[in-house]
């Protein structure tokens, strides 16, 4: 059965309270750096981080956009967002705006962002296509959204170990995000790369 938003919220409330543990499990600096590079950002750009969580992407984004750019991070879990705020304060970033809200209802104006990223968040958002549609709407034409997420291993027996890699209640492993996105945006996906025996993917969509 699909994981419901309430279960997801409960899981991330807990993760937000033990953020050191969440950050330890999900640091993945190389993967994040690579994903951020694929957005194609320049100094001064405004970037949307969908389901930004504790802000683990922020240092990599900041490296690209500098102090003249802006990060807008949206997340519906105040405990996760609290940690993103702590990070921004610690780093003295004045150009991070955190929005406590549901990414499937986000009302950012059309053409606001120079780039967007969703790392391991679409698999945690039950209506992932609605969240993506909002992000696409708010992106400038010709700009990129990078989706980096987890999925089932290509070699099925390995899927028995998935609960050890990611807590069942914190995502929907039955979702086929690649397939859904390709169906919804058949001409926009410009790159899809799988890694870690097919259990991770990175997808770039250009508006
Ligand atoms: C696995 S975490 C990923 C966080 C961050 N992107 C990262 O890479 O570490 C998934 C995040 O999605 C958020 N989330 C789940 N459903 C959401 C929704 N409907 N709107 C906004 N955020 C949501 C959760 O609160 C959680 O912080």
The winner for highest mean pLDDT among 53-62, 148-157, 168-177 is 53-62
Top-tier CATH class for 5-206: alpha beta
CA angle 173, 177, 182 (to 5 degrees): 160
Specify the 3-state DSSP secondary structure of 95. Answer: coil
Confidence check: pLDDT of 24 > 70: yes
Please give all residues whose beta carbon lies within 6 A of any atom in ligand 1, as ranges: 8, 12, 26, 51-53, 56-57, 74-77, 80, 102-104, 119-121, 124-125
Q: For residue 170, count other CB atoms closer than 10 A to its CB.
A: 19
Domain map (residue ranges) of the chain: 5-206
Residue nearest to atom 14 of ligand 1 (CA): 51
Distance CA(141)–CA(188), nearest Å, equals: 11
- Give which of 110, 128, 152, 118 is closest to 8, Cα–Cα: 128
What is the rounded average pLDDT of the residues 179-186? 96
**What pLDDT shows up at residue 190?**
85
pLDDT band at 124 (very low <50, low <70, confident <90, very high): very high
**Tokens for 12?**
């991330």
Tens of pLDDT along 102-111?
Answer: 999 998 999 9
Element (H, E) at 16: helix 5-17
Nearest to 111 by CA among 137, 83, 72: 137
Report the predicted TM-score, pTM, of the whole model to 2 decimal places: 0.97
Terminal CA-CA length for the chain = 32
Q: Is the pLDDT of residue 1 over 80?
A: no
pLDDT per position as a tens digit, 136-154: 999 999 999 999 999 999 9
Name the token pair of 7: 């279960």
The reported pLDDT for the residue numbered 3 is: 83
From the CA of 165, how far away is ligand 1's center (Å)?
Answer: 17
pLDDT digits (tens, 9 = 90+) for 25-36: 999 999 999 999
Q: How does the average pLDDT of the chain come out, rounded?
A: 96
């Amino acid at each position: 059965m699909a994981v419901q938003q309430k279960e997801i919220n409960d899981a991330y409330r807990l993760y937000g309270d033990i953020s050191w543990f969440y950050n330890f499990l999900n640091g993945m600096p190389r993967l994040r750096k690579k994903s951020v590079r694929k957005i194609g950002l320049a100094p001064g750009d405004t970037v949307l981080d969908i389901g930004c969580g504790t802000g683990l992407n922020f240092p990599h984004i900041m490296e690209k956009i500098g102090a003249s750019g802006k990060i807008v991070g949206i997340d519906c879990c105040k405990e996760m967002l609290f940690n993103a705020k702590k990070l921004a304060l610690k780093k003295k970033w004045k150009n991070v705006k955190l929005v406590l809200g549901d990414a499937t209802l986000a009302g950012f104006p059309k053409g606001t962002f120079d780039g967007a990223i969703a790392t391991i968040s679409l698999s945690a958002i039950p209506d992932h296509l609605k969240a993506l549609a909002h992000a696409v709407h708010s992106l400038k034409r010709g700009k990129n959204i990078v989706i980096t997420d987890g999925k089932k291993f290509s070699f099925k027996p390995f899927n028995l170990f998935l609960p050890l890699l990611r807590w069942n209640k914190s995502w929907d492993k039955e979702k086929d995000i690649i397939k859904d996105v390709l169906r919804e945006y058949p001409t926009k996906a410009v790159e899809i790369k799988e890694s870690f025996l097919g259990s991770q993917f990175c997808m770039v969509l250009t508006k």
